[in-house]
Amino acid sequence: MCAAALILAGQPTQGQVAPGSAQNRAQLLGSQANPTVPNIAPSAENQGYAIASPNEKDIGEQQILKRIEEYKPFTVSVYSPFFWTSNVALVNTGEEDDVVVAPGITLMYQPRITKTFYAELGVVQQFFLYDRFSELNFGSLDAIAGVAYYLPQFHNLSLRARYDYNRLTDTDNFDEFFVNHSIILNAELPFRIGRAQQVFLGVALNLSVYANPEPPRRNDYSFYVGYDVALSRSFSIDAAARLAVRDYYVGDRTDVSEIISLSANYRIRDWLILSALSSFAWNQSNHSVFDYSVANVGGGVALTLKF
């Protein structure tokens, strides 16, 4: 089944559903539900090197770091978020709301090549299942291969490069309606504030090298900023804002998107987290028919094992 046929069949409003709507929905709803993919690389503490920080000059002693646990390269994560969404098909007129559940599983292998250089291999499968508009249901499969390099001497700058194979399918017969091969480049710079807070800045390039069909194919160029705070050993809050420019290969189309996300996370066990999730997005296009705004509010549970 071609993408255009699926989009038209799943259109719940009188507004036009843009090419790439399923991609946008997967990115908006999937990124919060599955934090393993946006920030695949292990943290500095787990890598075995100290986070750059000033010594305690007033007492003349070096800061003592906690004992570093043995590095575990394998990660298995199973999660099931749910959202109320204000604009189910990301259209500019005739918006309809709905409830969506997005269960998924992530399998990652991140072998350490050197002290600050890692390989990354992984598979992510997630489904997006709607309550009223079930014709919009779809699945998203990602196969990931890449590397991550850390520079502790440059304020713990992290650099990542990876190949991503993304395949979107319907949920009835798992027929493919879009496939994309892309190269993703990312640089992120963290700034620690005390022991429990962190601000980070980053840029990311998502460059499509092949897609079928062609109309949804695009390159994404984005800048983001985030803030993390641990209010206790079990409770944390994360916030992020992203500005993305999306340049489509077909139709002389360029979109600019602003995305704000906020989550509160409660760690019941090392392997079990409950979350309250929200995101808000605005899209402006040089073709106004593709403008939209959307709010997503919900929660989720995630089980993660490392070994």
Residue pLDDT, tens place only, 26-36: 888 876 655 44
Residues 6+ apart with CB under 8 A from 67: none
Q: Is residue 194, in this structure, part of any structural domain at all?
A: yes
CB contact at 8 A, 5 and 117: no
Averaged confidence pLDDT in the chain: 86
Give me the long-range contacts of 235-243 (CB less than 8 A, separation at least 24): 235/264, 235/265, 235/266, 235/267, 236/264, 236/265, 236/267, 237/262, 237/263, 237/264, 237/265, 238/262, 238/263, 238/265, 239/263
CB contact at 8 A, 40 and 162: yes
Q: Is residue 61, in this structure, part of any structural domain at all?
A: no
Q: Is residue 8, in this structure, part of any structural domain at all?
A: yes
Label the pairing between strands 272-285 and 74-85. unpaired
Q: Is residue 127, in this structure, part of any structural domain at all?
A: yes
**Which pLDDT value is given to residue 30?**
77
**Which pLDDT value is given to residue 50?**
37
Q: Is residue 59, in this structure, part of any structural domain at all?
A: no
Token reading at 65: 């770091």
- List beta partners, residue 268: none
**Which pLDDT value is given to residue 28?**
82
Selection from 35, 81, 36 nearest residue 298 by Cα: 81
Structural domain tally of the chain? Answer: 1
Token reading at 111: 């072998």
- CATH of residue 30's domain is 2.40.160.40
- On the CB side of 177, CA atoms within 13 Å amount to 27
CB contact at 8 A, 122 and 107: yes
Averaged pLDDT for residues 197-210: 98
**Which pLDDT value is given to residue 18?**
60
- List beta partners, residue 209: none
Q: Is residue 58, in this structure, part of any structural domain at all?
A: no
- Express each pLDDT in 216-239 by its tens digit: 999 999 999 999 999 999 999 999
Q: Is residue 103, in this structure, part of any structural domain at all?
A: yes
Provide the domain limits for residue 131.
3-53+68-306
Does 86 have pLDDT greater than 70? Answer: yes
Q: Is residue 126, in this structure, part of any structural domain at all?
A: yes
Averaged pLDDT for residues 9-35: 63
